[in-house]
Structure formats: C-alpha cells, structure tokens
Amino acid sequence: MTLSHIALAAMCAMTFVDEAALREFIETRAYMLGRPNQTQFSPQGEVLFFLRSKPEEEELSLFEFELATKTERELVTAKQLLGDAAEQLSVEEKAQRERSRSMAQGIASFELSAEGKHVLFSLSGALYAVALPGVGLGKAVVVHLGPKTGAALSAEFSPDGKHVAYVKGFDIYVVNLQTRRHRRLTRGGTEELSHGLAEFIAQEEFGRAQGYWFSQDGKRLLFQQTDHRGMERLEVANPASPESKPVSFFYPRAGKPNARLRLGLVSTWGGPITWVEWDNKTYPYLMNVRWTKGGNVILSVMNRPQNTLVLLEIDGQTGKHRRTLLEEKDEAWVNIDQSFPVWLPDDSGFFWRTEKKGAPEIELRLADGRHVQTWVKAEAGFSQWAGFDKKRQTLFFSGGPNPTEPKLYAVTQAQEPKLFYGNPGEMVFGRWDEKAQRMLVSAVSLEAMPRQWVLDEGGKALVEVPSVAKAPKLFPQIEIRQLSKGIQPWTRIVKPKNFDAKKRYPVVLEIYGGPHVQEVVQSWPRALGLQWLANQGFVVVSFDVQGTPGRGRAWERAIFHNFAERISKEQVEALKQLALEFPQMDLSKVGVMGSSFGGYMAAILLMRYPEVFRAGVAMAPVVDWRDYDSAYTERYLGMPEEHPEVYEKNSVLSHVDKAQRPLLLVHGTADDNVYFFHTLKLADALFRKGKPCEVLPIANATHMLGADKEIGQRLWKLRAQFFQKHLHEGNHP
C-alpha cells in the first residue's frame, strides 16, 4: 500500500485536454451557479421568489420576479446583513446541510408566509423576516428577529404568518413577528434528549428535515422528542489538526440501537405537553406528519424492517389514536415518497402512492382510508408528483414509458393521462401552485442546461425564470440507448471529442448502481465531468441495471439481500453486451470508478472481475455494511443478527483475497455519513494480504468530497491520471 501523493506529484506534470474547461466546470458547480432555485409563487401568482448566486460564487441572495413586466429585483444579500464578517454555522446546522448535500452559502433557504407578506430565512444562526412591499414599491424591509444568544435552527412560519417557530439549544421557541417577543414552548432539551429536530435517519434516509408541525389554525404544535441515550457515538477528528477537539455524532449502525422517538402536543402559547399514543416499538420510524383542518394529526410510520407502513389518525387534542387509515406492505421493503399522502383541499380524501400491482400507482382514498379509484395506473410510469388542480379536478405528475426522460402529464378525473408539457429527449418536472393556478416547470436535456418556465393552467408557457449562469464549455458527446438483449438496461455512452469511429478506446465504467438512483438520464449537467474525463481519451459508460428505479417493483427489488453479486454480475454483462453494439470500446483496457455506494461497487467489481477491470477508483466507499446506518442497510439487507451470511457476502472485505488490480481509495477524514474508517479497514486488509492499493485521505473533507473547489478539480485530474497510467500505458494481460 502506498499513499497517493506520489500519484499527485506525477499528475502535476501531466498535460490535460480542456484543463481550462475543467476549471470553469468546477468554479461554476457544473454551470448550476447563477440559476434560480427554490422558486416559489406569491399567493396571487403574480410574483416569483427565488434564490440565486452569481455565476462563479456559492453565496445565494433572495430575488423576486414580477411575471407581467419581467422585472427582477434583488431583495436582500448576506453581505448587506453581515458586512465583511464570515458566516458562522453551528455544528447542528453544518450537519443539516451535510444531510441535504447542500454546499450553499449566504441565504441557503427561505420560506414565504401563507399570505405572501413576509419571507423568512436564517443567517449565521439569526432569524430575519423580510416585509415585502411588492415589485417597484420601494425597498424591502429586513427585520432581525433574534435570538439574542444561541443559534436558531429549522425556523418556520405559523399558518397565519404572525409567528415564527424555531429550535435553539434543543428546545422549541416561538417569536411574535410584530412584538419580537420570544416564548419558550419546551424545556429540558439536550443533545441526548432533543425537541423539535429530525434525527439523523430521518434527514439522511427518509427525506424528512422537519421535527415539529403547526396545526392549521396555528394554535397547537406537534413536536418530535428524540432520545439518543443508549446509542453509539462516533467521533470525527481532524488528523491534520490534532490539537482540535473531535466532533461527536450519534450514529445508528446496522443492528444497533436507533434514536427513540415520541411525539408531544403543546399549545403555541406554552403550557403542559400531551404525549401522543403511538406504538413506537412496533413502528419506530416516523416518515411524515400532517394536521387536518379538523384538528387531527395524520402520522405515517413504519416498522424497523421497513416492509410495513401504516397511516394513523391521532386526536389533535388528546393525542389518542383514533383509527388506522391504511396499511402498506411489501415482501422486501416499502418505498418512501415524502409527497404522500396528498390531501384534497377540503380534507375529504387523499391521494396515495402504492406498488401493490408491480409499479407505482396513485389512488384516491376517502378521509377514512377507503379506496375510491386509481387515478394513475401502473403502466403510466409514475415518477414524481407535480400537484392537483381542484378547480379542474386534474392531477399532474412526471413519468412516462422511458425512465431516462420523464414528461409532465395531466390526469383529469381518473381518465387516461395526457401529455401536458415536454419535448423528446427532455426531462421535465413540475410543481402546480393551487393558489396561483400556475405551474412551475423545470426541464433539462442532453442539449440544453436546466431552465425554469411558468405555465398557465392550460400548459402555455408564460415566462422563463431568469438565469445568469454561464454557458458550458464542455459540449456533450453523449448517447443514451437501451441494450437490446439480456435485461436490456438503459445505457449512457460518453465519447471523447473528435471521436473516431475507426479507433478503439479504453473504457471507464462510471457507477453508482445502488437503490433509488438513476445514472442514465437525459441531463447535460449530470455528465459534464464525465465528458471532460472522456476527452482525455476514454469512452465513459454507465448502466442502470436492476435495483435502480423507474422500471417497476420486481426490477427494483431484485437486489434484496444481494448487492455484491447481482449488481456486479449485471454490470459486467451489460459492459460486454454494449461492446458488441459499440465496437469502439476496447475491453482489454477497462477501468471502474464510483463514489459512496458507487465506491463500494467499484471495489467489488475490481475484486470480483479482475479479468475485466484493470484498475479502479473508489471514493468514500462503504466497505462493511455492518458499519453503515441502520435504516438504509437493514431496508435492503435485513438485520445483521438475523442474516449474518448476507452481510458477509456483501462486504468488500470478503473479496479481498481476489484482489489483483490497482485500486485507489479516496476518502474525506471528516465524513460523517460513510466514516473514514471504512477506507482504513479496507486498506489495512489489502495491505496485510499483500494486495495492490493506494490511499488518498483528504483532511477534514466530508462525504461531499468536491465541496472544496480546489479538491474537486484535483480529484478529476487524479482519476484521469490514474486511468491514463493503468489503461493507456503498458501491456495488460
């Protein structure tokens, strides 16, 4: 085993194709900086609010855009409030941003009050409300809400827009927008027993960032109490700064204790807490929460194996269980979609997503859970919820027959879906705003970067949301096709510029391969880095084999209890099949690379198939699934004490004896998702067996290895240099 600083030194002497383009690709975050994000309509639909940075800066500012006049105005910037002072983030807020994979700086997120008169955001732990006079009516007024000490987290408007709730010091507070008086709603919160914050699993694996919820009349609050006592704590140290104190995290490894949750009800004026009756031993996982207009609470909860989900109705005054609305079961696991249940505006019923018939369907159910009818059938290829127009009784969703390019469809009163918006070769997603009676559409393709439009209720484009992003200098040489034989996976081929069909090129398999992630999609920004790598003289390919979403329940559940064998075998079969259809691939010179689950698969493929792969780069790889988090791991592999053989065969460590080819391991030492000790365990095992391995630890880097732009640029060069060395040069048996 050697440290890769030698490789880094060699890299510095190399000449790369399009090095200036790589630098700009990194500086612009794949040309996504300068594009509007988190876009929201005003209640009347006349104005859009969004966050946007400059083309090469991370710092987001708040903008408004008047649709009729196409007038844009910058409302507030971080610099206006902080001056030259650096933004300060608490450990908890850093962790929240890591969970959401956010690299944003400045105004990282915002919320618009229901009546549309105020915008709320936090900056350096302080809360700010922006009073909105309207476009062209003078300057917006920014109000500092506090708190005077400590940092505010997870701030949210009350439904009437008169109060803001937030969490400080692990307890919940409410501040009056007019008087700016702060009121404490819970007491006794600590790091071990917190109030109002979503736990690690909810944020990382279930897509739930909220830890408290206002009733619709704003008079009561339901909050989560999280008990971490008895959980493992893992520490993250900075080896480059040994005098610094390590940061400790509660981390639930597979088979070990999770955080224990319970829910409390409290008046927004304070007072006694009523605890909710909920069988949290049988159903320890809280998916989502919603208050009904009648003042009851709907809980979506799941058992630890994640094969049973139930929807419960709870009395919003007494906390008692009123009834169970439905139960969703699956022999493997139940997929989570945080969009559901979607309640009708009058609370007479709700839409529900199910896969009971082999693919996602959207059902309409009554308020008591009884099935009414199926609005979106399995053959429609449902991908993502886009909204419901009560006035026209029309449901909107993204989907269709081709999972690489979903379009926007409309379903009126459970009839056949009709195309609402979308062009061939384009991915389209939408969000219907019921108050504004307008649709916000996002579209991207292999020929166009992401753009946003506003559509009217009939699908007519009204205006494009303004962007100041740079145009890419890396032009796509990308082909997406479905292989004709075997399991017929969708495939992405990235060819070098000046591609010569008479030549044969070394191949790099870029892989994620894990659940809930599609690599092969019609998206230019998703392949920009791969295009730069291909321009160094490679054909870069990716395959969405079984286990990936978009092709039905059986396709997705095929990897249950079987990551290593199933996915690696199908990746190799797809590689060989593609070579028959695309003969410019030189299968005597194949490398593999991936990060996170993709890093795991890169290591597995390199060890299981040394006759196919000549070299591999594994970044932040999961090495032993016993060391990864409980919710993700147990969903697919079961409990380790019940299925030890499953964990054994799916561990990279079980394949070390087969290792023959050069492997480069890259890992951030501050990674609190896939901890650095994963790479250390693998490097140690390879070293002891006398197997080839290079290790590059990146000091104080997290799971988002490219968060530092300099690191991001060097990592692309390092991978290019590694594959140049092992695929282009020398003879390969």
Calculate mean pLDDT across residues 164-175. Answer: 97
d(C-alpha 479, C-alpha 492), whole Å: 6
What's the confidence (pLDDT) of residue 432? 97
pLDDT surpasses 50 at 205 = yes
Put residue 136 in one of left, alpha, beta given phi > 0 → left and psi -120 to 50 → alpha. left
Phi and psi at residue 526, to the nearest 5°: -65, -20
Largest CA-CA distance found in the chain, in angstroms, rounded:
78
| Mean of all residue pLDDT scores within the chain | 94
Identity (one letter) of the amino acid at 212?
A: Y
Q: Is 710 helix (H, G, I), strand (E, B) or coil?
A: helix
d(C-alpha 718, C-alpha 664), whole Å: 10
Residues 584 and 631 sit within 8 Å (Cβ to Cβ): no
What's the confidence (pLDDT) of residue 672? 95
Identity (one letter) of the amino acid at 649?
A: K
pLDDT surpasses 70 at 730 = no
pLDDT surpasses 90 at 209 = yes
d(C-alpha 127, C-alpha 121), whole Å: 6
d(C-alpha 121, C-alpha 513), whole Å: 37
Report the chain's C-alpha Rg in angstroms.
Answer: 26
Which residues does residue 227 pair with via DSSP β-bridges, in sequence order? Answer: 193, 260
Sorting pLDDT into bands at 50, 70 and 90, what band is 13?
A: low
Calculate mean pLDDT across residues 391-397. Answer: 97
What's the confidence (pLDDT) of residue 12? 52
pLDDT surpasses 70 at 1 = no
Calculate mean pLDDT across residues 658-666. Answer: 97
Asked if residue 147 has a cis previous peptide bond (ω within 30° of 0), the answer is yes
What's the confidence (pLDDT) of residue 141? 87
pLDDT surpasses 60 at 294 = yes
Phi and psi at residue 568, to the nearest 5°: -65, -40
567-596 tens-digit pLDDT: 999 999 999 999 999 999 999 999 999 999
What's the confidence (pLDDT) of residue 731? 45
431-463 tens-digit pLDDT: 999 999 999 999 999 999 999 999 999 999 999
The runs of H, that is alpha helices, within 374-524 are none
Residues 689 and 502 sit within 8 Å (Cβ to Cβ): no
Place of tokens 């169970």: 324
What's the confidence (pLDDT) of residue 136? 47
Residues 274 and 264 sit within 8 Å (Cβ to Cβ): yes
Calculate mean pLDDT across residues 622-641. Answer: 98
Calculate mean pLDDT across residues 350-359. Answer: 97
400-437 tens-digit pLDDT: 999 999 999 999 999 999 999 999 999 999 999 999 99
Q: Which helix (H) or strand (E) holds 287?
A: strand 285-291
Q: Is 476 helix (H, G, I), strand (E, B) or coil?
A: coil
Packing angle of the helix pair 709-723, 5-12 (nearest 10 deg): 90
d(C-alpha 133, C-alpha 597), whole Å: 48
d(C-alpha 648, C-alpha 637), whole Å: 11
What's the confidence (pLDDT) of residue 100? 82
pLDDT surpasses 70 at 91 = yes
Identity (one letter) of the amino acid at 586?
A: D
Sorting pLDDT into bands at 50, 70 and 90, what band is 137?
A: very low
pLDDT surpasses 60 at 4 = no
Lowest-confidence range among 93-102, 120-129, 290-299, 480-489? Answer: 93-102
Lowest-confidence range among 92-96, 514-518, 526-530? Answer: 92-96
Packing angle of the helix pair 597-608, 564-581 (nearest 10 deg): 80
State what percent of residues in the chain have pLDDT above 90: 90
Order of strands, edge to edge, in the sheet holding 461-464?
426-433, 438-445, 451-455, 461-464
What's the confidence (pLDDT) of residue 255? 98
Sorting pLDDT into bands at 50, 70 and 90, what band is 103?
A: confident
d(C-alpha 84, C-alpha 204), whole Å: 33
Calculate mean pLDDT across residues 97-114. Answer: 89
Question: Structure tokens of 114?
Answer: 């229901």
d(C-alpha 683, C-alpha 691), whole Å: 9
B/e letters for 199-222, b = 16+ CB within 10 Å, e = fewer, are bbbbbbbbbbebbbbbbbebebbb
State what percent of residues in the chain have pLDDT above 70: 97
Question: Structure tokens of 320?
Answer: 């008692």
Q: What is the DSSP string of 109-136?
A: --EE-TTSSEEEEEETTEEEEEE---TT
Strand runs labelled E in 21-100: 37-41, 47-52, 59-66, 71-76
Question: Structure tokens of 66?
Answer: 């008047």
Question: Structure tokens of 726?
Answer: 């092992």
pLDDT surpasses 50 at 308 = yes
d(C-alpha 78, C-alpha 56), whole Å: 16
d(C-alpha 142, C-alpha 210), whole Å: 25
What's the confidence (pLDDT) of residue 15? 86
Question: Structure tokens of 551?
Answer: 């092709």
d(C-alpha 303, C-alpha 300), whole Å: 11
Place of tokens 């058992």: 303
